[in-house]
Chains A and B, each alone.
Chain A
């Protein structure tokens, strides 16, 4: 059973190659040695190869139920269904770090293959920086978090089982997507450092970095949306976002990444904001590292946190500190060499992009404050505080509303200069229609005025209508509309989808937050309850056996109050997972475009009744659908030919 040691050894080889990758091409760049710089490609390939081997070995250990490997014993079980045995690889701290390292080396290899047109010196520096990051993480794994540690000579006959909450499709996709995003920001970070080292922060570095940033951001969008969706159907309380520190840890790089995408656009097209864009690039990746720290160090309480260990926390903090000190010192040192001449007026696209950045950065600061303020207060000896949804929502709602309004102006603005008359002319009809839609729809749906729904609908219509209008304006051609539309580039449509996706998500958030209905009701078999226009009838109860659990399953029929038509049959369950007698609730959901019906079983009460939570959640699917559109917009933008030409 030597196989796990092979994985360990492969990791060590990967580290060795990372060290070489992090140093040789960098040296080569400063002494102009073409040979040393070209070493980056084989070194990056080798690094990826060995980390992949290591990952596969760990996977084999899971598939073969090798419980002599501690990590496998702690996170798996012989009865675990096979797809979860595989996803259990990243179900715990050590394995998820190995996934991190694998994805990092994957991105590094991607840079090797997609950067044919890069000057050699930039190419070498970018890959070297990514190599250095890998060095940090591989040391972290090998020194503090080795997934290949063994129980020897005596090992358990069976594993502790993967936590039942993680035995789900969500675990299979959510962490890999998230890490693709987090780690993906290391590419634009590497480009920023390479640009600083070379003293050239011109439009070229922005052009090279843009596709990498956009794709990373798209993956992060998918990852966060998947996490939210997973929490919703898995956790039994119908929530989709809790402003939990771990959630915030992923949201912060997303916000700054979005600002970065916009800033890169300005730097590439107009050569402006050069040093600011570099700073944002450094910040995005640093926030990825901060997130890694927060989740694994134990300094903040979270339902999502991995089991914490101060030593690990110190190591990650060390990585973060080294990254920040090196990159920000380099930034401060080199930035005076970069001075652009900015020529734009108050109503220019440049100003609106700056406004976008301002609002997104303030949004990020808000999340950062809400997450870390308790630590700061504790540091200076103040009170022990909790900061949660009341704070975040109070600040976020106005910020996002203003951002949405500015988005409309920004989309149709032109570079350098616009007049107020231009905006009025373009926007007055849209504003009128948006107000109408926002007024009429709630009346139709609820037969009364709801301010929150009005605002949400207005902002949604504002953004969608302006996006469509801009598309039609830009597609005007002498050869007809269809020709004009086909002439517009994927990059343009990608941007449009990004904005429309945001609007969809915004509307979903507004409706769910304001118009949700939640009841906790005592029901026995045969009872029924009415919530809004739905009748929930508790038909029967059954005991069932799953692959690794036993459950009480309830059968609910949902009828329309007026027509008495059967709308849905829901089967919420209360499960006990056998390995460790862990109880869990499986909510039953009837998904819909305009609403979800949500039923979850609570406790069994006296007299054979059950506590049942029934929720009506309007437009909740729009949140994840909008995120999907946003992410697809990013992917579409990157498929543009101009990125593939070279």
Chain B
């Protein structure tokens, strides 16, 4: 009876390996899931004098989009974000490890979908959120809690299948 054990174990292992194919082994879980947005105090991108804190992210369901001018994928998703903003979806930007003048002229050139932009030149808020590569987009609920994080470009498919349903649910 013991003689069949190796075969059974092998089949189990083959199954595990089969399901692992195609998955992205570098994708991290969202450590801050269901945590409040970490405390921060950073200036707004366009208005240096204006200070933004985590309180400014409360009150409505928002998308927090982590972006930078040096990030080619951010450039790729920018157009879609402008579309979403025009549809009325509130998007707050987190300008990550960037240079203020470059970022400002970028937005002037390509359009500004953001309600406001947090300027995070050292990546402090990014680090506390667990950002490990731009672009990333967080769903923050009305009370300022992180409810979801998408790593990578936001396009139509991602919005319709993943983000929008949750956005609508949280907005109720």
Contact = CB atoms under 8 A, between A and B. Distances in A.
Contact of A332 (B4, B20, B29): B4
A314 B6 contact: no
A208 to B, nearest CB: 23
Interface residues of A, number: 33
A124 B29 CA distance: 53
B23 A378 contact: yes
Nearest to A333: B3
B25 A301 contact: yes
B25 A372 contact: no
A300 B20 CA distance: 9
A91 to B, nearest CB: 23
Contacts of B22: 298, 310, 313
A299 B18 CA distance: 9
A300 B6 CA distance: 24
Contact of B17 (A282, A331, A374, A375): A375
Interface in B1-21: 3-4, 6-7, 10-11, 13-21
A436 interface: no
Interface in A377-404: 378-379, 383-384
A503 B22 CA distance: 42
Interface in A252-310: 275, 279, 282-283, 286, 293, 297-301, 310
A379 B18 CA distance: 10
Contacts of A375: 16-17, 20
A497 B141 CA distance: 67
Contacts of A329: 7
A398 B10 CA distance: 28
Given A279-B6, A332-B4, A384-B29, A324 B14 contact: yes
A499 B34 CA distance: 56
A325 B6 contact: no
A625 to B, nearest CB: 36
A479 B16 CA distance: 63
A104 to B, nearest CB: 22
Interface of B is mostly: helix
A298 B3 contact: no
A300 B27 CA distance: 11
B168 interface: no
A317 B14 contact: yes
Interface string A356-382: 000000000000000010111011000
A300 B25 contact: yes
Contacts of A310: 21-22
A378 B26 CA distance: 12
Contact of B6 (A328, A336, A379, A383): A328
A172 B143 CA distance: 60
B14 A314 contact: no
Given A375-B16, A379-B16, A384-B28, A297 B7 contact: no
B29 A336 contact: no
A299 B21 CA distance: 6
Interface of A is mostly: helix
A370 to B, nearest CB: 15
Contacts of B16: 372, 375-376, 379
B14 to A, nearest CB: 5
A545 to B, nearest CB: 31
B29 A379 contact: no
Contact of B3 (A297, A300, A321, A336): A336
B77 to A, nearest CB: 24
A463 interface: no
Nearest to A383: B29
Interface in B123-172: none
A299 B11 contact: no
A256 to B, nearest CB: 13
B21 A379 contact: no
A324 B7 contact: yes
A471 interface: no
B17 to A, nearest CB: 6
Interface string B20-45: 11110111110000000000000000
Contacts of A282: 6
B17 A325 contact: no
A320 interface: yes
Nearest to B29: A384
Contacts of B27: 384
Contacts of A13: none
A332 B2 CA distance: 9
A127 to B, nearest CB: 25
A288 to B, nearest CB: 14
B18, B19, B27, most chain A CB atoms within 10 A: B18
Nearest to A305: B25
Given A298-B21, A317-B18, A332 B3 contact: yes
A8 B18 CA distance: 30
A379 B3 contact: no
A310 B22 CA distance: 5
B25 A332 contact: no
Given A324-B7, A378-B23, A317 B28 contact: no
A579 interface: no
Interface string A441-466: 00000000000000000000000000
A379 B11 contact: no
Contacts of A379: 15-16, 19-20
Contacts of B14: 317, 320-321, 324
A365 to B, nearest CB: 11
A378 B6 contact: no
Contacts of A286: 10
A27 interface: no
Nearest to B12: A376
A335 interface: yes
B15 to A, nearest CB: 8
B22 to A, nearest CB: 4
A279 B22 CA distance: 31
A328 B7 contact: yes
A310 B21 CA distance: 6
A324 B14 CA distance: 9
B17 A317 contact: yes
A375 B10 CA distance: 15
Contact of B20 (A279, A328, A378, A383): A378
B30 to A, nearest CB: 10
A286 B23 CA distance: 23
B21 A332 contact: no
A321 B22 CA distance: 18
A384 B27 CA distance: 9
A317 B21 CA distance: 9
B85 to A, nearest CB: 32
Contacts of B18: 314, 317
User: What are the nearest 3 A-B pairs in CB distance?
Assistant: A328-B7, A299-B20, A324-B10
5 contacts: A279-B6, A298-B22, A301-B25, A378-B20, A379-B16
Given A299-B23, A301-B26, A325-B11, 5 more contacts: A297-B20, A331-B3, A331-B6, A372-B16, A376-B16
Interface of A: 275, 279, 282-283, 286, 293, 297-301, 310, 313-314, 317, 320-321, 324-325, 328-329, 331-332, 335-336, 372, 374-376, 378-379, 383-384
